[in-house]
Amino acid sequence: MKFSQNFSQKRPFLFSRIFFVIWLIFCASVSVSLTKSLFSIVSSQSRVRVLEKQHAELERKNAGLEQKITNSRTPFAKESIIRNELGLQKPNEVVVQVPDSATPAAEEQKNENPSVSEPIYRQWITLFFGS
């Protein structure tokens, strides 16, 4: 009789401990799940912001390209393309080509005296140490 009384008295205590452990595990798993969900929402929002910025940039580029297309359909733009890129000219027109360098005489002077230049090791020292 004493054994059954002791067991019945310990039984609510045992069940309350088991219930507490189960409740604790449940709360921990819910907390972990909510934390993961929160992090995924935050990362999704940041990705959405980045993609919205990219979308806006692409929209601007697209508008610029559309503007170039409409501008290139004008007769002046067509003539500019024909003259500049294809190198064509109108009848009885004289084309003068100017070299890209502003001072061709200075370049010729550099090329005339290749033996006067410093030795390579001196050029390396000047490059790395400045004098």
pLDDT in tens, 52-62: 999 999 999 99
Does the pLDDT of residue 18 top 90, yes or no?
no
Selection from 22, 25, 21, 23 nearest residue 33 by Cα: 25
d(CA 87, CA 93) in angstroms, rounded, equals 12
Average pLDDT, the chain: 81
SS3 for 27-94, per residue? HHHHHHHHHHHHHHHHHHHHHHHHHHHHHHHHHHHHHHHHHHHHHHCCHHHHHHHHHHCCCCCCCCCC
d(CA 60, CA 68) in angstroms, rounded, equals 12
Q: What is the DSSP letter of 113?
A: -
pLDDT digit string (tens) for 77-115?
A: 888 888 888 878 888 888 777 777 666 555 565 555 555
Does the pLDDT of residue 72 top 80, yes or no?
yes
Q: Note the pTM of the prediction, 2 decimals.
A: 0.42
What is the dihedral angle through the alpha carbons of 119, 124, 126, 128, rounded to the nearest 10 degrees? -170
- % of the chain at pLDDT higher than 70: 76
Q: What are the distances in angstroms from CA 38 to CA 4, 13, 19, 124?
A: 50, 37, 28, 58
